[in-house]
Structure 1
Amino acid sequence: MGRVDELWVILTVVTLAAIAGLIFVVGLLRGRGGQTKQLPQERAQAPQAPERTPPKANTYKTSAKIDTGGGVGTIDRPSTPTAPPPAQPPVDESAPPAPSEPEVVEAPPTPALEKPESARGRMVRLRERLSRSNTALGKALLSLLAGGKLDDEAWEDVEDTLLQADLGVEATTEIVDSLKQRVQVAGVPDEDEVRGWLHEELLKQVNPTMDRRIAATRIDGRPAVVLVVGVNGTGKTTTVGKLARVLVAEDKDVVLGAADTFRAAAADQLETWGDRVGVATVRSDREGADPAAVAFDAVKGGAETEADVVLVDTAGRLHNKSNLMDELGKIKRVIEKQSPIDEVLLVLDATTGQNGMRQAEVFSQAVDVTGIVLTKLDGTAKGGIVVAVQRALGVPVKLVGLGEGPDDLAPFDPAAFVDAVLD
């Protein structure tokens, strides 16, 4: 073979190798991209591939087993699709944030006001309690007088029984002298006759003719003013709260004055009593404030609100402390700069007996007591304190406490009291 022929062979081999390489590259490109790169003209003329429909949202497949007859196989079946979430509008970050809704806090329910029962006839309703505590007096007297023989020794026993019941010497002497005269005229009585005599004599000593009304009505266009005084431990603040209930039951408009500024809990206690029946309380937030100033403000507030009555509670004080009694006189004088005081109620513990008598005398000298409130009368057999304190001061017992309940303060009824003593 000549040289020319060798050149043709080499050229032919090179040409075939180039063609084979070109074919290889084209095939490789088709395998990667799925198609060859199109020219701009070709892309413009090429048909658009149809858009693929995306699967439904929240649709998924679960696998379940079925019997195909030839064995157990598996198929895929869609579960029940759920609804797609609602489309959210695009957020405009440039817009100011929407104002947040204020949190609504529900106010606690207002407690219903209590409606106190009427005070009319309350003494009769509570007669059983009184008769239980004073039964010793009535039974002892009936036993002595209806025993048959009334000699000097028997009459001395009658006197001792009456004195032990705290009737006092004068009242005891009057009762015994009257009973002796009746026996001399009628002879030795039976029990029913003795009971009748005792009822008449005791009722005379209790004196049903005394005016026992509480000043609780507007006078000359102003509220009535009631000042409540007493020693420590007699239940004075509680009595003021209970008296407010008595007056509310009579449809009176009441204002309370918390002038006991030395005992931290006194104003809170009084305010609680008032809140239960819808009665306003005038008080100072500062412990140890001037009690006369608080009393003055209470009376002023009652006048401005056109109340029927203002009840002023004062601090308990020992009757033998002259500085404290002078302060009580100051409270009275300050109140009277804007309004007369229509009632001064002295609260006494019925169980203190003759010690309560001394208290009554000192308080009466300081503030002109107009009425007595006897607390704890159901807890003593010495009911004669009613007679003794009235005789000593010349003022009536107007209210009596017969228990711990909120409505156990009763207007004093002389006939019901005597009946209870002799039951």
Structure 2
Amino acid sequence: MFGGFFDKLKGGLAKTRNSINQKVSEVLNLAIIIDDDLYEELEEILITSDIGVETSIYVIEKLKIRVKDNKIKDPAQIIPCLKEVIIDILGENENQVKPQEFPKVILVIGVNGVGKTTSIGKIAATLKDEKYKVLIAAADTFRAAAIDQLEIWSKRAGVALIKHQEGSDPAAVVFDAVQAAKARKVDVLICDTAGRLHNKKNLMDELAKITRVIKREYSEALMETLLVIDATTGQNGVQQAKQFMDICPIDGIILTKLDGTAKGGVVISIKKQLNIPVKYIGVGEGVDDLQVFNSKDFVEALL
């Protein structure tokens, strides 16, 4: 959907790649034999790259089996096996966004400051470029700044915005947006939501109410809930995702700010621990720097 952005992806993952790839290469170049010490060193590298302890141990166990099955004796030949193990975890094609199912409502959730508004703007702009009719709903009515920011992005993307005053009922905004989406025969309606995780009960009620409105008023639309996580938070992002999973079902992850961190390994951890596919990754500031996640490209750019 977002085309072949491999070079951008590679550039965006530079910090993570330098962290993982250089260390792995150094260890393998110095190794004479493949033994427990070597596996231990590799495990340590994965853990420090924010792949997480549990996932790193799992990766190394699978790597040992693959190396043994392929009768590999030369440490330099471990990298292809490591790539295969990680691709197996991420799943080959299940992460692909299916743009052909319309009409569609994308509910975007996540705590404040993770890049929710920016992600919505970028997805809207890309869909618009692909000739889809898009509408945005500013249902984070808790912060005036969120509404203003979405307005800027909607203008930049050339997409209409449905908004109410700050402090109004988010479900009422979504109700109006759904009516507008139906009247205007929109392909995709993207709804922003508030991100107050510290007030879980309120957030849970709010999201449940919004979901009820969508299902009741727009039953013909496919609904997808995407959680935005800031990659720079590393393993804390996994904990955040777990908390949101308690609140509502999540269909996919948007991982932002990958270009600003060496913690890109968190992608692997998210998939292994939560079994939620990463749908989009942000590798820069530009409108076209939010890419559909492709596990093979990601692993190639990483190692």
TM-score when normalising by structure 1: 0.66
Give 1:287's match in structure 2, choosing from 162, 166, 170: 166
Q: Is residue 2:196 matched to residue 1:317?
A: yes
Amino acid at match of 1:347: V
- Residue of structure 2 in register with 1:246 after alignment: 126
Offset of residue 259 of structure 1: 0.6
Provide the alpha-carbon RMSD of the alignment: 2.1
- Contact 2:11 / 2:259 at 8 angstroms: preserved in 1? no
- Residue of structure 1 in register with 2:187 after alignment: 308
Q: For structure 1, which segment, 302-311 or 129-138, has the greater mean C-alpha deviation from structure 2 after superposition? A: 129-138
Offset of residue 209 of structure 1: 3.3
Q: Deviations over 1:99-133 (max 9, x none)?
A: xxxxxxxxxxxxxxxxxxx7211344432221343
- Residue of structure 1 in register with 2:228 after alignment: 347
Question: Is there any run of 5+ residues in structure 1 with no aligned partner, and where?
Answer: 1-117
Aligned residues: 299
- Residue of structure 2 in register with 1:73 after alignment: none
Q: Deviations over 1:12-41 (max 9, x none)?
A: xxxxxxxxxxxxxxxxxxxxxxxxxxxxxx
Higher fraction of helix? 2
Offset of residue 187 of structure 1: 4.9
Query: Structure 1 residues 232 and 216 mapped into 2: Cα distance closer, same or farther (>3 Å)?
Result: farther
SS at structure 2 position matched to 1:342: strand
Query: Structure 1 residues 309 and 145 mapped into 2: Cα distance closer, same or farther (>3 Å)?
Result: same
Identity %: 44
Q: Deviations over 1:82-106 (max 9, x none)?
A: xxxxxxxxxxxxxxxxxxxxxxxxx
- Residue of structure 1 in register with 2:74 after alignment: 189
- Residue of structure 1 in register with 2:5 after alignment: 122
- Contact 1:148 / 1:188 at 8 angstroms: preserved in 2? no
Amino acid at match of 2:74: P
Offset of residue 166 of structure 1: 2.7
Offset of residue 210 of structure 1: 1.4
- Residue of structure 1 in register with 2:23 after alignment: 140
- Residue of structure 1 in register with 2:136 after alignment: 256
Q: 2: distance between equivalents of 1:187 and 1:226?
A: 46
Offset of residue 384 of structure 1: 2.0
Matches within 5 A, 1:2-401: 119-146=2-29, 147-184=31-68, 186-191=71-76, 193-214=77-98, 217-218=101-102, 223-284=103-164, 286-318=165-197, 321-340=200-219, 342-401=223-282
- Contact 2:20 / 2:46 at 8 angstroms: preserved in 1? yes
Amino acid at match of 2:185: E
Question: Is there any run of 5+ residues in structure 2 with no aligned partner, and where?
Answer: none
Q: Deviations over 1:296-327 (max 9, x none)?
A: 11111111100101000112222563322332
Q: 2: distance between equivalents of 1:131 and 1:416?
A: 14
SS at structure 2 position matched to 1:321: helix
Q: For structure 1, which segment, 293-302 or 264-273, has the greater mean C-alpha deviation from structure 2 after superposition? A: 264-273
Task: Mark the structure with the bigger radius of gyration.
Answer: 1
Q: 1: distance between equivalents of 2:300 and 2:45?
A: 18
